[in-house]
Structure 1
Amino acid sequence: MLRWTLPLLLLAAPAGAVTPIAEILCEGRDAMETRLSQRMGSERQAMGVRGPEQVMELWTGADGDWTLVVTYASGTSCIVAMGEDWQALSREPA
């Protein structure tokens, strides 16, 4: 009985969902920018430095989809998060 428990548990585990992030997790900076702007219709909305080796970028699409990308000093860019329903907030004057 114990011999069949583990295989049955593995079969019962949910299958991983296929998402756009699964297709492209990391690639060269130029290729990532081309994919985000031309293929996904996104525009870079914000960016900031995360230490001496990384730059974070926020890309958004007209449909409200958003993508958070980190670019390393090596030139490799990786998608670290994606979502939908992005809403830009106006900043109050200082």
Structure 2
Amino acid sequence: MIRAAALLTLLASPAAATPTPIAEILCAPTKQMQQKLEQQFRSARTASGMRSPDQMMEVWTDKRGDWAMVVRYASGTSCIVAMGEHWEETENPT
């Protein structure tokens, strides 16, 4: 969870004077969010699916098993809505 807290700190706006609890939703411009996830945390988008015509759900994971669930909006903003550790791929039964 240390990496999750670090991500929250890096993406938090400079105006935020108090620490951001992980339970809060964290948003940033999509390009900025992707750069932090890819470059700083070595994560890759490993799954995605449409939630609505204006929203795409994405799962970002790294080799250690840390993960983040991101909602990407058509407006150009992305929000981390959940994050955790020990991500595990399961076999599709079909």
Normalising by the residue count of structure 2, what TM-score does the alignment of the two structures yield? 0.74
Counterparts of 1:60 and 1:30, CA distance in 2: 17
Taking the aligned partners of 1:79 and 1:65, their CA distance within structure 2 comes to 13
**Whose Rg is larger?**
1
Unaligned runs of 5+ in 1: 1-17
Matches within 5 A, 1:1-94: 19-20=5-6, 22-23=8-9, 24=11, 25-93=26-94
Unaligned residue ranges in structure 2 (runs of 5+): 12-25
Q: Which runs of 4+ in 1 moved over 4 A?
A: none
Once the two structures are superposed, what CA deviation does each residue of 1:10-66 show, in whole Å capped at 9, x if it has no partner? Answer: xxxxxxxx9235323211111111100110110110000111111010000101100
Query: In the aligned structure 2, how far is the partner of 1:74 from the partner of 1:44?
Result: 19
Go from structure 1 to structure 2 and tell me whether the alpha carbon gap of 1:26 and 1:68 turns closer, same or farther (over 3 Å shift): same
One-letter identity of the residue aligned with 2:58 = E
Partner secondary structure for residue 52 of structure 2: coil
Question: One-letter code of the match for 1:83?
Answer: G
CA distance in 2, matches of 1:53, 1:21: 25
User: What count of residue pairs does the alignment treat as equivalent?
Assistant: 76
Give the alignment's TM-score, normalised by structure 1.
0.74
